[in-house]
RNA sequence: GGCUCGGUAGCUCAGCUGGUUAGAGCGUGGGAUUCAUAACCCCAAGGUCGGGAGUUCAAGUCUCCCCCGAGCCA
C-alpha cells in the first residue's frame, strides 16, 4: 500500500526556521515509521516560490525573483539534508511541470462553473497576501501581523466560487478524523458556519506568478498555485503531468501536516478546490501547534529566534528530534526551554537508555566472553521483561500512525526504565559472586539486552542515528529481515559478540545559551 | 465585540461519563548501590486544582459570573 504525507510547501521568503524544521522532523518520523511498517511511502515536501512578496524581496536585493528563489531553496535542500530528512519528493512551484498542472486544474474548475470574475477593492497586505477588512476610508492602515502599511487595491480578479461548496465542506469537516487534532475542529466549523465566501485566485500586475490561461494579465494567486504543488510533487514520478494519474500516484494524501495557522486553507479552501476539479480530498489534515521559546513568542523584534542551524550544529539531530517529539504533544503549542531540553536529552537518552545498554553490555562481556550470553532460544521466552517489551511495541504501533509521538517516546522510555529497575532488583553483579547463578544471570542479561535491542529498533523512526548506534553496539548485523520481523521478542542472537561499550549518547553540556 | 482553546506541585503536563488520603516525568532533598555515561534504583518534601457563587450526599471534574493567557472570526 502507498502511504503519502506532506509537509506544507514552505514559502521561500527566508531560510528555514525552527517551525518548519519542527514540522518536517515530525513528518519524517511518521514517514520512517510507515516505511518500516512496510508501506510504500511518498513523503512530500517542497517550497512555494511565487507571489508579490517574493517579487519584492528579490527586487529589494536587486536580484531576479528566480535568483532569490534558487538561493533560498538551496538553503532548504541543504537543511533537510543535514537533518537527515527522508523525503521522497521535493517540489518547487516554479518548476516547469507545475505550470501545466495548475492550468489544467484551473480549467477543470472553470468548466465546472466554479470560476467567476469580480471586482476586488480593499486594503491589501503583501506580507499576508490577503485583503484586510479595514474600512475603505481608513488612512494609512497597517497590517496587525506585519506592522506594514496596507496597499489600496481596486482590480478585476477571478474568483473561486467557494460558496458553491458550503454543504459539502460542512459534511467533510464534520467527519471525525478529517481535521486533527479534534480540538481544532470547532474553530473551522464555526468559520464555515459563518458562510463561505468566494475568494480571489488571480492577481493583475503581479509578474512573478503563473499566468491564468485565457485571462490576459492575470497570474494565479500564490495560495492557489501553492496548494497544487502537492499534486505536482506526486506526479513527479517520471510520468506525464496528467491529473487523471493522481490516483495511481499517491493522491489523496493520507495526511497533510501543517501549522495551525494555515489550517483553514487546507481544511476548507483546498478541499473545495479539489472537489471542483473532481479530485478526492486528503484523508486527514493535521494542524500542529507552534513553538515558543522560554515562554515567549519567537520573533525578530524580540531577537530570541532559535536558529535551527545552530541547534543542529551544537546539539545534533538526535537530541533535537527527541526533545521536540518527546516533550511536546504534537498538535498542542510547545515551549522550547533550554534547561528542560538538556535535562530531558541527558536523562532519557544518555542516562536511561544509553546507560542501560552500556552497563548491561559491560556485564555480559565481563562474564560471558565478550558476547551476548549464550542461552538457548526457548530460555528467552517467558522472561519477566517479555510482557513489558511486547506491550511497548504495541503502544508504539498504536501511537505513531496517530501522530502521537509523545506517547510513542514515553512507551519506549518506560521499557528502558523497567529494564533498569529489573537489573537493580536482580543485582546480577552480586549474584555472580556466588557460584551456580550463571544460568539465571545469563538469562536476565539476555533479556535486558533484548530490551535494548527492541528500544533501539523502536527508536528508529524517531531518532534514526541513535537507533543505529544502539543496534551497532549490540553487534547486530545489518538488517536482512524486516522491521516487523525483528520486532519480536527473542530475536537477539545469543552468543554473538558484543563490541567494546561506547556511550551511544553523549550528555549535552551547553556552556552558553543557544 | 462574538467564538474556540487553555489556566492543576518550581517546570512540562495526566486526570474518562462528578465519588476513598489530586497523579507522572523533570528539578530539589535524602537513602541505597557499584555492573554502568557523577550514571541506575528507592524514598521524601512541594498543590486552598485561576477567583467567586451555585447544583449535589459528594466537584479539579457540571452550571453561571469574573480575571489571565493563546488563537479564530468580525
Q: Give me A100's grid cell.
A: 501545466
CA dist A26 and A382 (Å) reads 35
| Share of residues in chain A with pLDDT > 90 (%) | 69
Please state the rounded mean pLDDT for residues A400-417: 91
Tens digit of each residue's pLDDT (9 = 90 or more) over A221-242:
988 999 999 999 999 999 999 9
Cβ contact A172:A271 at 8 Å: yes
CA nearest A28: which of A48, A11, A45, A10?
A45
CA dist A324 and A23 (Å) reads 10
Using the predicted structure, report yes or no on whether residue A139 has a pLDDT greater than 90.
no
Place of cell 506544507: A8
Tens digit of each residue's pLDDT (9 = 90 or more) over A75-129:
999 999 999 999 999 999 999 999 999 999 999 999 999 999 998 888 887 877 7
Higher-confidence residue: A145 or A193?
A193
**Span CA (A264) to C1' (B54), Å:** 39
How confident is the model at residue A127, as a pLDDT?
78
CA dist A341 and A364 (Å) reads 32
Which protein residue has its CA closest to C1' of B12?
A: A327
Separation in Å, CA A458 to CA A172, A311, A346, A392: 35, 24, 19, 9
How confident is the model at residue A351, as a pLDDT?
93
Secondary structure class of A455 (helix, strand, coil): helix
Residue A290: nearest nucleotide (C-alpha to C1') = B70
Whether A363 CB is under 7 Å from strand B: yes
Q: Give me A186's grid cell.
A: 470547532
Q: Give me A496's grid cell.
A: 554473538
Using the predicted structure, report yes or no on whether residue A480 has a pLDDT greater than 90.
no
Per-residue CB contacts under 7 A with strand B, chain A residues 56-115: none
Tens digit of each residue's pLDDT (9 = 90 or more) over A279-311:
999 999 998 888 888 877 887 777 788 899 999
Q: Give A147's DSSP letter.
A: -
How does residue A381 score in pLDDT terms, banded at 50, 70 and 90?
confident
Which protein residue has its CA closest to C1' of B74?
A: A133
Q: Give me A302's grid cell.
A: 524580540
Residue A506: nearest nucleotide (C-alpha to C1') = B37
Whether A186 CB is under 7 Å from strand B: yes
Q: Give me A449's grid cell.
A: 539486552
Higher-confidence residue: A370 or A190?
A370
Residue A410: nearest nucleotide (C-alpha to C1') = B25
DSSP per residue, A401-436: GGT-HHHHHHHHHHHHHHHHHHHHHH-HHHHTTSTT
Look at the alpha carbons of A172, A174, A177, A178 in this order and tell me if their dihedral is positive or negative. positive
Whether A55 CB is under 7 Å from strand B: no
Whether A342 CB is under 7 Å from strand B: no
Lowest mean pLDDT among A108-122, A132-146, A252-266: A132-146
Higher-confidence residue: A422 or A143?
A422
Using omega within 30 degrees of 0 as the cis cutoff, is the peptide bond preceding A252 cis? Answer: yes
Show which positions of strand B are touched by protein (CB under 7 A).
Answer: 2-6, 11-14, 25-27, 33-37, 39-42, 70-74
Buried/exposed code over A192-206 (b: 16+ C-beta within 10 A; e: otherwise): beeebebbbbbbbeb
Using the predicted structure, report yes or no on whether residue A144 has a pLDDT greater than 70.
no
Whether A423 CB is under 7 Å from strand B: yes
User: Which positions ≥6 away from A430 have C-beta within 8 Å?
Assistant: none
Q: Counting beta carbons within 10 angstroms of the beta carbon of residue A54, is it exposed (0 to 12), middle (13 to 18) or buried (19 or more)?
A: buried
**Span CA (A32) to C1' (B71), Å:** 32
Using the predicted structure, report yes or no on whether residue A513 has a pLDDT greater than 80.
no
Per-residue CB contacts under 7 A with strand B, chain A residues 155-184: 183
Residue A414: nearest nucleotide (C-alpha to C1') = B25
Residue A346: nearest nucleotide (C-alpha to C1') = B37
**Span CA (A333) to C1' (B18), Å:** 29
CA atoms within 13 A on the CB side of A170: 11
Whether A335 CB is under 7 Å from strand B: yes
Cβ contact A29:A279 at 8 Å: no
Tens digit of each residue's pLDDT (9 = 90 or more) over A25-83:
999 999 999 999 999 999 999 999 999 999 999 999 999 999 999 999 999 999 999 99
**ipTM exceeding 0.95?**
no
Secondary structure class of A475 (helix, strand, coil): coil
Residue A329: nearest nucleotide (C-alpha to C1') = B13
Residue A424: nearest nucleotide (C-alpha to C1') = B41
How confident is the model at residue A131, as a pLDDT?
79
| Share of residues in chain A with pLDDT > 70 (%) | 99
Whether A344 CB is under 7 Å from strand B: yes
Higher-confidence residue: A320 or A331?
A320
The four Cα atoms A23, A25, A30, A36 give a dihedral, to 10 degrees, of 160
Using the predicted structure, report yes or no on whether residue A426 has a pLDDT greater than 90.
yes
How confident is the model at residue A198, as a pLDDT?
93
Whether A19 CB is under 7 Å from strand B: no
What is the overall mean pLDDT for chain A?
A: 91
How confident is the model at residue A78, as a pLDDT?
97
How confident is the model at residue A173, as a pLDDT?
92
Cβ contact A41:A3 at 8 Å: yes
Secondary structure class of A149 (helix, strand, coil): strand
Whether A262 CB is under 7 Å from strand B: no
Amino acid at each position: 500500500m502507498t502511504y503519502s504525507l506532506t509537509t506544507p510547501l514552505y514559502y521561500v521568503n527566508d531560510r528555514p526556521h525552527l517551525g518548519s524544521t519542527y514540522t518536517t522532523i515530525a513528518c519524517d518520523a511518521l514517514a520512517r515509521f510507515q516505511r518500516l511498517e512496510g508501506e510504500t511511502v511518498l513523503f512530500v515536501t517542497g517550497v512555494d516560490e511565487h507571489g508579490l512578496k517574493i517579487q519584492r524581496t528579490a527586487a529589494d536585493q536587486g536580484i531576479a525573483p528566480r535568483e532569490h528563489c534558487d538561493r533560498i531553496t538551496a538553503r532548504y535542500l541543504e537543511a533537510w539534508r543535514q537533518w537527515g530528512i527522508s523525503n521522497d519528493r521535493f517540489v518547487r512551484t516554479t518548476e516547469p511541470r507545475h505550470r501545466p498542472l495548475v492550468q489544467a486544474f484551473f480549467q477543470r474548475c472553470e468548466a465546472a462553473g466554479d470560476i467567476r470574475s469580480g471586482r476586488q477593492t480593499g486594503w491589501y497586505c503583501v506580507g499576508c497576501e490577503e485583503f484586510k477588512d479595514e474600512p475603505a476610508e481608513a488612512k494609512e492602515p497597517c497590517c496587525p501581523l506585519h506592522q506594514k502599511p496596507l496597499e489600496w487595491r481596486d482590480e478585476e480578479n477571478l474568483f473561486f466560487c467557494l460558496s458553491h461548496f458550503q454543504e459539502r465542506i460542512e459534511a467533510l469537516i464534520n467527519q471525525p478524523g478529517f481535521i486533527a487534532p479534534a480540538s481544532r475542529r470547532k474553530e473551522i466549523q464555526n468559520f464555515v458556519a459563518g458562510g463561505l465566501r468566494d475568494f480571489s485566485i488571480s492577481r493583475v500586475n503581479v509578474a512573478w506568478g503563473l499566468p491564468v490561461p485565457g485571462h490576459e494579465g492575470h497570474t494565479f494567486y500564490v495560495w492557489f498555485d501553492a496548494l497544487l504543488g502537492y499534486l505536482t510533487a506526486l506526479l513527479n514520478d517520471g510520468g506525464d503531468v496528467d491529473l487523471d494519474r493522481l490516483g495511481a500516484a499517491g493522491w489523496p494524501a493520507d495526511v497533510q501536516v501543517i501549522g495551525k495557522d494555515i489550517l483553514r486553507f487546507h481544511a476548507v479552501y483546498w478541499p473545495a478546490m479539489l472537489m471542483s476539479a473532481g479530485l478526492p480530498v486528503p484523508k486527514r489534515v493535521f494542524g500542529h501547534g507552534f513553538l515558543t521559546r522560554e515562554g515567549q513568542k519567537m520573533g525578530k523584534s524580540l531577537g530570541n529566534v532559535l536558529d535551527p542551524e545552530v541547534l543542529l550544529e551544537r546539539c545534533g539531530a538526535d537530541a533535537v528530534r527527541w526533545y521536540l517529539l518527546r516533550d511536546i504533544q504534537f498538535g498542542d503549542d510547545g515551549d522550547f526551554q533550554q534547561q528542560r531540553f538538556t535535562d530531558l536529552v541527558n536523562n532519557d537518552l544518555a542516562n536511561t537508555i544509553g546507560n542501560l545498554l552500556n552497563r548491561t553490555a559491560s556485564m555480559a562481556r565481563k562474564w560471558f566472553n565478550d558476547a551476548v550470553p549464550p542461552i538457548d532460544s526457548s530460555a528467552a521466552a517467558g522472561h519477566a521483561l517479555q510482557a513489558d517489551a511486547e506491550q511497548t511495541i504495541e503502544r508504539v504501533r498504536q501511537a505513531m500512525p496517530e501522530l502521537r509521538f509523545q506517547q510513542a517516546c514515553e512507551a519506549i522510555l518506560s521499557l528502558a526504565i523497567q529494564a533498569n529497575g529489573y537489573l537493580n532488583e536482580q543485582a546480577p553483579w552480586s549474584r555472580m559472586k556466588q557460584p551456580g547463578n550463571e544460568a539465571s544471570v545469563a538469562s536476565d542479561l539476555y533479556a535486558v539486552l533484548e530490551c535494548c535491542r527492541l528500544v533501539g529498533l523502536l527508536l528508529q523512526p524517531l531518532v534514526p542515528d541513535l537507533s543505529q548506534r544502539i543496534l551497532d553496539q549490540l553487534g547486530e548485523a545489518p538488517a536482512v529481515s524486516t522491521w516487523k520481523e525483528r520486532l519480536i521478542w527473542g530475536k537477539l542472537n545469543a552468543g554473538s559478540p558484543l563490541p567494546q561499550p561506547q556511550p551511544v549518547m553523549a550528555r549535552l553540556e551547553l556552556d552558553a545559551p543557544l
